[in-house]
C-alpha cells in the first residue's frame, strides 16, 4: 500500500490507524481461515490527508480531531483489497524463491557509485506537509531550504550532499539534535527479493517515494515478471528519493541521508542481486556499527552549559534532569526546546538579541534554580 499510515496524525493514541483497522475488518469479513497482511510500499511522499489540508497546515488539526478520516480511509482500503482478491486466480501452485544482499553504505563511500556520509538537512526538521514541527513554526527550518552555493573547501561528501543545508544557527542545532549523545548508524542493511509466482517483491530499508520505487520497478521487471517495491523492511535508513527529488530539498530529499546517489546505487545493487542464485542461506552479518562523531561532535556533559554564537546569534544548550526546568539567562527566563537523551534532557533555544550582555560583561545562567557557568563557543559560518 503506497501511503503513510497516518490518518490519525499526532493524536496521543495507541492505535493501528486506518491500515490496522482495515486488516481487522477484512479478517472478520473473510473468515478465520484467512490472514490479512498489508505492507507499506512507496509511501515516502504519500499522505492519507486530502490535498487541501496538505496545502494549508492549519486544516490538518481539525481533520484529525474529527476522526472521520480514519474511517473513510479504512473503508476505501477494504474495498480495494476485496476487488483485488476477486480478480486473483485460485487454486494455482506458486513457487517461492528468495534472494538476500547486505547493503553496506560505508563500502560505497569509498568506491563505485559513491554515497556520502550520512547527513540530514534543515527541511527534515521542518517536518512534512501533513505535520509541521515546532522548528517550522519558529522559522528555524523550512521546506526547500538549500545551500546557495558550495562552502569553501568543500569535500566529496559536501558535493554528494549539495544543496542540502544544515539545520540551525551555523549548523549548531543540527549537531545537537542528531547526536543525542549515542547516535550510531547501522553498518549493514538487508535488501530482499522474494519471487512469488510471477511477482517479485523487492524490499528497501526505508521510505521510497513513488518516483524512486517506479525507477526500481522499471529496472527489474520483465515480460513474465511484475515487480512490487516494499519499503520499511528489515531496517531503516531514511528516505529514498530520485536525484531530481533530492535537488528540490523537500522533506523527503532532505531526509535522504546518504546523498543524491542513493537511489541509483540501490537500483544497481538490486540488479546485481537479481542474477544471484536464489534460496541461499545467508546469515546475519557481524555487527558493523560506526559512531558518527566527526561531523556531529559531542553533547555537553550533564553538569555543563554552553552558549554558541554564530553571526551575532546565540543558542543556549544545557543539560537538565527535567524538561520543564526553567532556564534564566542574564535575568530573563528563556523559552527552551527539550530532547530526551540517555544522560538527561537536552534543553536548547535561540536567545533574543537583547539578552546578550555588553561586550566583555559576564553571562549569568540558572537552570532549575541552580547557577551554571556557561562555556562560550563560536561557530563560524
**Its pTM surpasses 0.85:** no
Q: Are 261 and 144 contained in the same domain?
A: yes
Give the span between the Cα atoms of 237 and 165, in whole angstroms. Answer: 19
Question: Which of 92, 110, 129 corresponds to the end of one domain?
Answer: 92
Q: Are 194 and 292 contained in the same domain?
A: yes
- pLDDT at residue 93, rounded to an integer: 82
Q: Are 85 and 100 contained in the same domain?
A: no
- pLDDT at residue 229, rounded to an integer: 97
For residue 268, CA distances in Å to 15, 74, 114, 180, 211 come to 38, 36, 12, 34, 16
Q: What domain range includes position 55?
A: 1-92
- pLDDT at residue 167, rounded to an integer: 78
Give the span between the Cα atoms of 40 and 348, in whole angstroms. Answer: 35
For residue range 125-147, what is the model confidence (pLDDT) as tens digits? Answer: 888 887 788 788 878 888 999 99
The DSSP string of 296-325 is: T--PPPTT-EEEEEETTEEEEEEEESSTT-
Give the span between the Cα atoms of 133 and 11, in whole angstroms. Answer: 14
- Within the chain, which residues score under 70 in pLDDT? 10-12, 55-66, 111-112, 168-185, 282-303, 310-312, 341-342, 378-381
- pLDDT at residue 289, rounded to an integer: 37
- pLDDT at residue 288, rounded to an integer: 42
Q: How many domains does the chain have?
A: 3
Q: Are 87 and 133 contained in the same domain?
A: no
3-state secondary structure at position 51? helix
C-alpha cell at 213: 520505487
Q: Are 60 and 198 contained in the same domain?
A: no
- pLDDT at residue 295, rounded to an integer: 33
- pLDDT at residue 328, rounded to an integer: 93
| Averaged pLDDT score across all residues of the chain | 83
Q: Are 366 and 229 contained in the same domain?
A: no
Please choose, from the candidates 106, 99, 44, the residue with its C-alpha nearest in 3D space to the C-alpha of residue 271: 99
Please choose, from the candidates 176, 178, 182, the residue with its C-alpha nearest in 3D space to the C-alpha of residue 347: 176
- pLDDT at residue 292, rounded to an integer: 36
Amino acid at each position: 500500500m503506497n501511503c503513510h499510515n497516518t490518518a490519525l496524525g499526532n493524536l496521543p493514541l495507541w492505535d493501528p490507524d486506518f491500515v490496522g483497522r482495515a486488516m481487522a475488518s477484512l479478517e472478520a469479513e473473510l473468515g478465520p481461515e484467512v490472514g490479512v497482511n498489508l505492507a507499506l510500499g512507496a509511501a515516502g511522499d504519500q499522505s492519507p490527508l486530502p490535498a487541501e489540508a496538505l496545502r494549508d497546515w492549519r486544516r490538518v488539526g481539525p481533520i484529525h480531531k474529527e476522526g472521520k478520516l480514519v474511517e473513510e480511509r479504512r473503508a476505501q482500503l477494504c474495498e480495494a483489497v476485496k476487488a483485488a482478491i476477486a480478480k486473483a486466480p485460485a487454486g494455482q501452485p506458486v513457487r517461492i524463491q528468495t534472494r538476500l544482499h547486505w547493503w553496506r553504505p560505508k563500502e560505497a563511500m569509498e568506491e563505485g557509485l559513491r554515497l556520502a556520509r550520512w547527513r540530514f538537512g534543515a527541511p527534515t526538521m521542518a517536518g512534512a506537509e501533513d505535520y509541521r514541527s515546532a522548528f517550522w513554526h519558529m522559522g528555524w527550518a523550512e521546506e526547500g531550504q538549500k545551500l546557495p552555493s558550495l562552502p569553501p573547501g568543500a569535500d566529496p561528501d559536501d558535493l554528494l550532499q549539495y544543496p542540502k543545508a544544515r539545520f540551525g544557527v551555523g549548523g549548531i542545532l543540527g549537531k545537537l539534535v542528531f547526536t543525542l549523545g549515542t547516535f550510531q548508524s547501522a553498518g549493514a542493511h538487508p535488501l530482499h527479493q522474494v519471487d512469488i509466482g510471477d511477482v517479485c517483491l523487492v524490499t528497501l530499508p526505508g521510505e521510497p517515494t513513488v518516483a524512486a520505487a517506479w525507477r526500481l520497478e522499471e529496472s527489474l521487471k520483465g515480460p513474465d515478471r511484475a515487480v512490487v517495491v516494499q519499503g520499511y523492511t528489515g531496517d531503516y535508513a531514511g528516505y529514498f528519493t530520485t536525484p531530481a527529488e533530492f535537488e528540490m530539498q523537500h522533506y523527503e530529499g532532505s531526509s535522504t541521508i546518504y546523498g543524491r546517489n542513493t537511489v541509483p546505487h540501490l537500483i544497481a545493487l538490486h540488479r546485481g542481486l537479481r542474477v544471484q542464485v536464489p534460496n541461499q542461506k545467508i546469515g546475519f552479518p557481524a555487527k558493523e556499527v560506526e559512531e558518527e562523531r566527526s561531523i556531529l561532535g559531542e553533547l555537553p556533559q550533564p553538569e555543563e552549559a554552553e552558549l554558541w554564537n554564530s553571526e551575532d546569534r546565540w543558542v543556549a544548550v544545557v543539560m537538565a534532569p527535567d524538561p520543564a526546568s526553567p532556564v534564566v539567562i542574564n535575568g530573563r527566563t528563556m523559552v527552551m526546546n527539550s530532547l530526551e537523551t540517555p544522560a538527561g534532557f537536552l534543553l536548547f533555544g535561540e536567545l533574543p538579541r537583547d539578552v546578550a550582555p555588553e561586550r566583555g560583561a559576564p553571562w549569568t545562567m540558572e537552570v532549575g534554580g541552580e547557577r551554571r557557568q556557561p562555556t562560550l563557543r563560536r561557530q563560524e559560518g
